Amino acid sequence: MNLLKNIKNTAINVFQNEANALLNLIPHIGDDFEACVTDILSSKGRVVITGIGKSAIVSNKIVATLNSTGTPSLFMHAADAIHGDLGMIKKEDFVICVSKSGNTPEIKLLVPMLKALGSKLIGMVGNANSYLAKQSDYVLFTGIEEEACPNNLAPTTSTTVQMAMGDALAVCLLTARGFTAESFARFHPGGTLGKQLYLKVEDVIDQKLVPMVDQDASLKDVILEISSKRLGATAVVDANKKLQGIITDGDLRRMLQNNFELSTIKAKDIMTKDPKVIFVDDYAVKAAELMKTFNITQLVVKDGASLVGFIHIHDLMKEGIV
The one-character DSSP state at 199 is -
Predicted local distance difference test score (pLDDT) of residue 3: 60
pLDDT tens-digit profile of 275-287? Answer: 999 999 998 889 9
Same domain, 160 and 309: no
For position 195, what pLDDT does the model report?
A: 65
Within-domain flag for 128? yes
Residue 145's pLDDT is 94
The secondary structure of 247-266 as a DSSP string is EEHHHHHHHHHTT--GGG-B
Alpha carbons 185 and 192: distance in angstroms, whole number: 10
Residues 173 and 209 in one domain: no
277 & 166 share domain: no
Range of the domain at 237: 201-318
Residues 238 and 145 in one domain: no
The predicted structure's pLDDT at residue 208: 82
Order of all β-strands in the sheet with 298-303: 277-279, 298-303, 306-312
Classify 205 in phi/psi space as left (phi over 0), alpha (psi -120 to 50) or beta: beta
Q: Of 116, 147, 179, at which residue does a domain stop? A: 179
77 is in an annotated binding site: yes
Mark whether 15 and 159 lie in a shared domain: yes
Give pLDDT, residue 217: 93
State which of 179, 211, 229 marks the end of a domain. Answer: 179
- The answer to whether residue 196 sits within a structural domain is no
Q: How far apart are CA 141 and CA 124, in angstroms?
A: 6
Mean pLDDT of the chain, nearest integer: 88
pLDDT, residue 263, reads 79
Helix axes 219-229 and 249-257, enclosed angle (nearest 10): 150
In tens, the pLDDT along 117-138 reads 889 999 999 999 999 999 999 9
Domain of residue 248, CATH code? 3.10.580.10
- Number of folded domains in the chain? 2
pLDDT of residue 188: 56
What pLDDT band is residue 5 in, cutting at 50, 70 and 90? low
186 belongs to a structural domain: no
Amino acid type, 226: I
Stretch (H or E) spanning 141? strand 138-141
- Could you tell me the pLDDT band of residue 232, with boundaries at 50, 70 and 90? confident
Q: What is the mean pLDDT of residues 192-217?
A: 81
> What are the angstrom distances between the C-alpha of 166 and each of 47, 60, 67, 126, 170?
12, 10, 12, 14, 6
Residue 71 has pLDDT above 60, yes or no: yes
